[in-house]
Amino acid sequence: MRLTGKVQEVTIDYTHCVQLGNADNFTSIPSNLLSTAFSTSNSTGATQPQWRVQQINNTTLNIQQSVCQIRFTLPTDFAPPVMLYYRLTNFFQNHRRYVKSVDQGQLLGQNLTATQLESDGSCTPLISAPNGKPYYPCGLIANSLFNGYPPPSVSCLSLFADC
């Protein structure tokens, strides 16, 4: 119980960032999507967390992707070690649809056409790209990646730099 009092956190629910965020400028995140818990009042003048949505052109898949950018400062000085945690919700890797969305033959090197992949439906919903070419590998399992690291576009995680 002693360590529980030392936990300090900022929680930001960015589930609806793409729908609510502004494409041009950073805007304040609604207060009902934020919560904080700090053990001291050693404030450094934190600002209201903000977000914006950028449209990124994915040339590999030939699609536009929405990327949510979040900007916030911590309202208190943190002593090391400082750890960043995040949680995914509504991402069910044990869901039946997810588990069935894979083609073992394709993973073993069989060259299958989009028509062949569509005929047995094993890769639904990720069978082929909008141009009709099959995804290699197809399916949800092969096309989901969660590596546990912030993406390269994170511009600053420093507690001391002005980001």
> Which residue from 42, 41, 46, 43 is spatially nearest to 12, judged by alpha carbons?
46
Q: In this structure, what are the phi and psi dihedrals at residue 157, rounded to the nearest 5 degrees?
A: -120, 10
What is the C-alpha separation between 120 and 85, in angstroms, rounded?
Answer: 40
From the list 23, 15, 123, 118, the residue with the least C-alpha distance to 64 is 23
User: What are φ and ψ of residue 75, in 5° steps?
Assistant: -80, 5
In tens, the pLDDT along 105-162 reads 888 888 888 889 888 888 888 888 888 888 888 888 877 765 555 554 444 444 334 4
Q: What is the pLDDT of residues 68-104, one digit of tens each?
A: 888 887 777 777 777 766 666 666 666 788 888 888 8
Q: How far is residue 64's CA from residue 53's CA, in Å, rounded to a whole number?
A: 12
Nearest Cα to Cα of residue 135 among 150, 122, 152: 122
